[in-house]
Amino acid sequence: MKAIILVAGRGKRLAELTVDRPKPLIEVNSSPIIIKTLDNLIEYGIDDVILVTGYLKECFTKKIGTSYKGASIKYVENPIWDQTNNVYSLLLAMAEVEENEPFVLVEGDEFFDSTIINKNIFHDDASYWVGKRSSDICGCILFENNGLISDLEIIRDPILLKEKCKGRDSFKSCGIIKVGAELSEFIHRQMPIYCQNKTNVNNYFDLFIQENLSKLKIKVYPILNDLWYEIDDKADLQVAEKKFFNI
């Protein structure tokens, strides 16, 4: 099975740490984020990986090459990475995926242990992997009803987050999605139309999903433990290093 990993951005909030390397090459306890991701995906049985690069793209080819532990590594460049968001990177990567081909989609700043999921999830339908219920972790928040995503919002304000989550089943996205055959076909068909609007190319791919939720059935898949962390800034990096110190 294929995996698409979105690694085009710089990671400005990590300041000087990303002057000479992209954020996914930042190390957590001596392990680069992207290498940990690749190790996990290969353990899950992924053997074909597409990296969507942009900022300092040559760092990835130098570090990883075209093969890693038996998995094929292919590169797709987002030449306007600094003018677009990850929905456009995903659109470019879809050229390397068959029309109804399932794949796993991973954001490049997620540091996680392979034990967060049951490997059988790869045989399931479309699903967002999510952390435990929480009303204090901002980001991509999923609202669930009968096991399916009923709504999705990008929330950055902690006060607004608590208001939105009150009385609702809400989860923080882990930035990992299993894209089944039906969702893959939908992305192939609808994302080019969505990205014709030049405003939309500056969106997260999650907002494309949000706009089309009424047409989709996407499961919420809670991870099995909390060995996962999204790294956006130095404070996140410090938390991740403590969380994974003995892992």
pLDDT tens-digit readout, 40-54:
999 999 999 999 999
Q: Summarize the confidence of residues 34-63 as an average pLDDT.
A: 96
Q: How many residues in total does the chain contain? A: 247
Q: Give the model's pLDDT for residue 131.
A: 82
Among the residue ranges 46-60, 134-148, 176-190, the one predicted with the least confidence is 134-148
- The set of residues, in sequence order, having a beta carbon less than 8 Å from that of 214 and lying 6+ positions away, is none
pLDDT grade, residue 122 (50/70/90)?
low
Q: What is the pTM of this model?
A: 0.95
What burial class does residue 4 get, using C-beta atoms within 10 Å of its C-beta: 0-12 exposed, 13-18 middle, 19+ buried? buried
Lowest mean pLDDT among 54-63, 120-129, 218-227: 120-129
Q: Tell me what the pLDDT averaged over the chain comes to.
A: 93
Please compute the mean of the pLDDT values over residues 102-121 and round it to a whole number. Answer: 90
- The mean pLDDT value for 159-164 works out to 92
Number of domains in the chain: 1
Mean of pLDDT values over 98-116: 95
Q: Tell whether the torsion through CA atoms of 167, 168, 169 and 173 is positive or negative.
A: negative
Predicted pLDDT at 193:
98
Domain span holding position 228:
2-243
Give the model's confidence band at 36: pLDDT under 50 very low, under 70 low, under 90 confident, else very high. very high
Report the CATH number at residue 202: 3.90.550.10
Residue 123 confidence (pLDDT): 64
Pair 182, 111: CB distance under 8 Å: no
| pLDDT at residue 213 greater than cutoff 90 | yes
Lowest mean pLDDT among 67-71, 186-190, 218-222: 218-222
Residue 130 has pLDDT above 90, yes or no: no
- What local confidence, expressed as pLDDT, does residue 34 receive? 98
Contact 201, 195 (CB under 8 A): yes
